[in-house]
Amino acid sequence: MCLHRFKLRSVFLIGFGIGFLFAIFLFTNQHLFCNNCQKSALNLYSTNKNSLFKWFMSDTWVNKEIIFQSWNKSTYSEWLNNKKLILNNIDMDIYLYGFEKKEELESNWLKSHVHITCAVFVKKIKLARAIQNTWGKHCNRIYFFGQLKDIKVPIINFEIKLVSSWQLLCEAFNYIWRNNETLEWLIFVKDDTLVILENLRYMLAPLNHTQDHYLGHAILLWGQPYNVANAGYVISMGVLKKLINMFDDSKKCIISGKYWKQEDYYLARHLASIGIYPSDTRDQYQRGTFHGYSLQSLLWGVVKTSAYWTHALYPIKNECCSFMSVTFNIEESEKMYTFSYLLHNFYVLKKKAVFGNRKVTTSISDEDIWKVALKEEFNITHLSNISSEMYYEIWHSKYSEPEQLIKNNYQIKDSESK
């Protein structure tokens, strides 16, 4: 059974990889197949046919700062200048394999200066575990809420009967308020969501968490603008404080919303009653940052038309995804691990590597390895007068045939296991 599952998973991963690379090939060479295709006027590489290829293989795009629509008067670079900090490019080859690491990565510094609390609403244990082992580690603190129990994931189950998903969200507000000493920013997502915390901190850094901020992908429905739960939404500590003042006990949470799967709508309606509305989180190219669909669907345009797009309060222009995107939908735990690896563990060294190709330094030279073997295997400590020929004779006297060495090792392992 395990072998069968392994074969199925291997076939899926190979097929996914081939399909992904083939899609990139088609997109980057679309000029070979279409003579009348129009390029996006807002495309960062609209003058070059191989735009997506440049996205993956070039550092050019990172040289232009991403600015968000709602707070372009206070940019990330200005915020850094106020902190009297300067960004410097580093050689990743040296950083990864060099002997001294004096540089501090920007993402690590931001984690200690922009505090984000993550709240995940759990419906599937496998997804909750995947989050705990992947992007959840990049939260300053993370809470799991739901009606399930698991030995590995500490899911918070409220010992009360829940009448609506809004009540669950409302109870989560109060729980976090009572149990978290450091509150600045909170992101609320479902368990099928991938969150890129590094990009979110970049977005939030110039903002004041004591003020009112309500971020996500906003749509307009029944005359009410609200950030949809499928894409996740962020509130500041200033907003949370006002919510707690409005709903500080379970009774108030119950009577303020009665339908399931409408918690995002209720939240926006209550915030609107005190003058708080969704912010525009698009970048300067009007590309979205909070996404309720998978990256594959967004890139290749297979997403079906829905209220998510047609009722968007801030319509996306021409391209789906900002380079500083924050959330994507992922329905399978295996994909959560895959994307997490690509984001945080996979490095592309685009120039000739030096340190990465060097032989790993060892404390024992090749000439002295046999001496260590004598000491560990035969407890011989006086090695100064033993030549390599004598070493061979000693070893051969114990193991005349290679099979004896293998057999002996298996006997040792069996005795240890017993």
Q: Does domain 73-87+103-345 have CATH number 3.90.550.50?
A: yes
Q: How far is CA 276 from the centre of its chain?
A: 28
Which pLDDT value is given to residue 283? 92
Distance, CA of 130 to CA of 364 (rounded, Å): 40
The distance of Cα 236 from the centroid of its chain, to the nearest Å, equals 20
The reported pLDDT for the residue numbered 26 is 39
Beta bridge partners of 220: 225
Supply the pLDDT for residue 140. 97
Please give the pLDDT value at position 309: 81
pLDDT confidence of residue 32: 34
351, with CB counted inside 10 A (0-12, 13-18, 19+), is: exposed
Report CA-CA distances (Å) from 172 to 167, 245, 412.
8, 14, 54
Yes or no: say if 276 and 198 are a contact pair by the CB < 8 Å rule.
Answer: no
Domain with CATH 3.90.550.50 in the chain: 73-87+103-345
Residues of the chain with pLDDT under 70: 1-63, 72, 101, 301-304, 318, 360-361, 366-368, 370-371, 374, 380-384, 388, 398-418
State residue 273's pLDDT score. Answer: 95
The reported pTM is 0.74
Q: What's the alpha-carbon Rg for the chain, to the nearest Å?
A: 28
Q: What is the pLDDT, as a whole number, of residue 405?
A: 53
